[in-house]
A and B are shown apart, each in its own frame.
Chain A
Amino acid sequence: MAEDTHRFWAKLEGSTALRYALAPGAIAVALLLQILVIGPSFPVWSPSPPPIHPTGLFQVCIVVAAWCGGAGPGFLAALLATLALPLLIDMNYPLIAGFFDLPRFVAFGITGLAVGWGTTFRRRAEAALRRSERELRKARNELEMQVLERTAALRRSEALLAEAQTLSQTGSFGWKVATGESLWSEETFRIFRYDRTTKPTMERALQRVHPEDAALVQQTIECASQEGKDFEQECRLLMPDGSVKYVHVVAHAVSDEAGSLEFVGAVMDVTERKQAEEALRKAQAELGHVTRVATLGELAASIAHEINQPLGAVVNNASACVRWLAAQNLEEAQRSAALVIADGHRAADIIGRMRALAQKAPPHKDWLDLNAAIRDVLALARSEVHRHGVVVETHLAAEVLCIRGDRIQLQQVLLNLVMNAIEALSGVRAGPRTLRVSSASVAATEVVVAVCDSGPGVEPQHVDRLFEAFYTTKPHGLGLGLAISRRIIEAHGGRLWATANVPQGAVVQFTVPTGGEGVV
């Protein structure tokens, strides 16, 4: 109904002709009412006054015309009423040109214009209000649509984030230090294995930290809270079922408007990565051991000869001792017995060096003298050196080269480099077969060891590939020795590389820091 009314008024306001037609229509209705219903006016047709004065009736019609049509139709109705009024009543004052009642016209005109303008203003205000309402409603609808769309997008985004967190095993959290208020994502609950309905708190998270890591984690968090700095910590979690998880926590410190400190961060479950790293480390250690034993296997004949020497000397000296005793030359007998003991120690040393290299011990850092390690390796390879007619030159640093590292792994590297050099030199038909091993301190921060040979050398295009796994230039080589050697040296925080020797041959050298950081 209200809509129909609005449409009627809209149609009326839109048609000027219709609005102005209201004026004669209203006056005609007033005339008809006056003549047919109220009765003829006085004094033309009736001797007594009618119950409603024609002036009042016209005023009503003018008001209606002005109300419905506006100021223009109201004014027109006033004009028509002024012209029609002398037909109905007798005027007691002179009219203009005998038919125009100016005072009544003024009164009618004021009525028509006032009502018309008032109505027009009211309608315009109402129209503006309606327009505003429409626009407001439209804006509200659009806003609701946008809210719905954004809510849907946000939910989808949240779902994707939750899925991504599950896939990447990374949970997020927020922690207000002052109030202790915490917020965890679903994945964080899963990582800490707490029920989703549990109220998240820092204390609950710390309850899951492995007892051996708890103090360190607590200290890290306290420091970060006091200094308001970001923190990063890797630690173990001990689950209620006794299983252990590894997590990596990264947190960013932010301050809100009030200056309160809040940490926003992520908890990554890195258990699988840790397990993979551990498996890789074990596999590498196994491989290192296998190649070490393989190298010792290559040395077996030489080492057998090396052990045979002191054993032969033991037999000779023991025989001599017996003869000196028979001859009652106690001094010589005593000297012979001492030589037996020395030769026995010598044999034991060789076996000890072999056993040390062959043993399958977990890597461990220790302080060691690199020069002593070089001498041990050269002693182990001595028979091989002699067998191939190689001349060994050593230029070791005069001072003790003390580094922190794994003795067995470093000796494995040295033995590998020495054996490679000997093998390269065995192919030299003319010229000297020289193997030079040198060591030196560099800038007091690292030590460099170089193994140079006068062999055929390495072609420049193959230098980089020498350290690739399974790449070999030997007919029976595995191609693992240098790859493992580089890994060992890099794990010690050093570098291993090869260059050409001058005038011929190759130089393979490595550095290790005197601090020996990063031993695996």
Chain B
Amino acid sequence: MDAAALVVVVEDDAPMRASLQNLLRSVGLQTNSVSL
């Protein structure tokens, strides 16, 4: 997996969004998030 890849999390629920970002970061992915 490309470590430089950026995953954008789109989720309206803030805790869910935070947990997804946490999980993605734990596997070494860079994340960003967008709320609806």
Main secondary structure of the interface of B (DSSP, over half): helix
Question: In the docked arrangement, what's the CA distance between A335 and B21, Å?
Answer: 13
- Give me 20 other A-B pairs in contact (C-beta within 8 A), A310-B15, A317-B19, A339-B15 excluded: A309-B16, A312-B19, A313-B13, A313-B16, A313-B18, A313-B19, A316-B19, A316-B23, A319-B26, A321-B26, A324-B26, A332-B22, A332-B25, A332-B26, A335-B22, A336-B22, A339-B18, A342-B15, A346-B15, A386-B12
The answer to whether B25 and A320 have CB atoms under 8 Å apart is yes
Interface centre among A320, A321, A339, A386 (most CB of B within 10 A): A320
A40 to chain B, nearest CB (A): 163
Q: Enumerate A296-324 residues with CB–CB distance to B below 8 Å.
A: 309-310, 312-314, 316-317, 319-321, 323-324
A316: B residues at CB distance < 8 A: 16, 19-20, 22-23
Main secondary structure of the interface of A (DSSP, over half): helix
**Contact count band on B:** 10 to 19
Residues of B within 8 A of A (CB): 12-13, 15-16, 18-20, 22-23, 25-27
The answer to whether B19 and A339 have CB atoms under 8 Å apart is yes
Task: Assess whether A187 is interfacial by the CB under 8 Å rule.
Answer: no
Question: In the docked arrangement, what's the CA distance between A34 and B12, Å?
Answer: 157
Contact of B13 among A309, A321, A324, A339 (CB under 8 A): A309
Question: In the docked arrangement, what's the CA distance between A346 and B20, Å?
Answer: 16
A65 to chain B, nearest CB (A): 141
The answer to whether A317 and B13 have CB atoms under 8 Å apart is no
Question: In the docked arrangement, what's the CA distance between A319 and B21, Å?
Answer: 12
Interface centre among B12, B23, B25 (most CB of A within 10 A): B23
Question: In the docked arrangement, what's the CA distance between A183 and B13, Å?
Answer: 77
Residues of A within 8 A of B (CB): 309-310, 312-314, 316-317, 319-321, 323-324, 327, 332, 335-336, 339, 342-343, 346, 386
Question: In the docked arrangement, what's the CA distance between A386 and B16, Å?
Answer: 15
CB closest chain-B residue, reference A313:
B19
B15: A residues at CB distance < 8 A: 309-310, 313, 339, 342-343, 346
A332: B residues at CB distance < 8 A: 22, 25-26
Q: Which 7 pairs across A and B sit closest by C-beta, in order of nearness?
A: A316-B19, A323-B26, A313-B19, A320-B26, A320-B22, A320-B23, A316-B23
The answer to whether B19 and A343 have CB atoms under 8 Å apart is yes
B7 to chain A, nearest CB (A): 13
The answer to whether A317 and B12 have CB atoms under 8 Å apart is no
Question: In the docked arrangement, what's the CA distance between A386 and B13, Å?
Answer: 10
B25 to chain A, nearest CB (A): 7
CB closest chain-B residue, reference A333:
B26
The answer to whether B26 and A312 have CB atoms under 8 Å apart is no
Question: In the docked arrangement, what's the CA distance between A316 and B22, Å?
Answer: 8
Contact of A319 among B12, B13, B23 (CB under 8 A): B23
Question: In the docked arrangement, what's the CA distance between A321 and B27, Å?
Answer: 11
The answer to whether residues A320 and B19 also contact, given A327-B26, A332-B26, A336-B26 and a CB cut-off of 8 A, is yes
Question: In the docked arrangement, what's the CA distance between A312 and B26, Å?
Answer: 16
B18: A residues at CB distance < 8 A: 313, 339
A309: B residues at CB distance < 8 A: 13, 15-16
B22: A residues at CB distance < 8 A: 316-317, 320, 332, 335-336, 339
A312: B residues at CB distance < 8 A: 16, 19
B23: A residues at CB distance < 8 A: 316-317, 319-320, 323
A335: B residues at CB distance < 8 A: 22
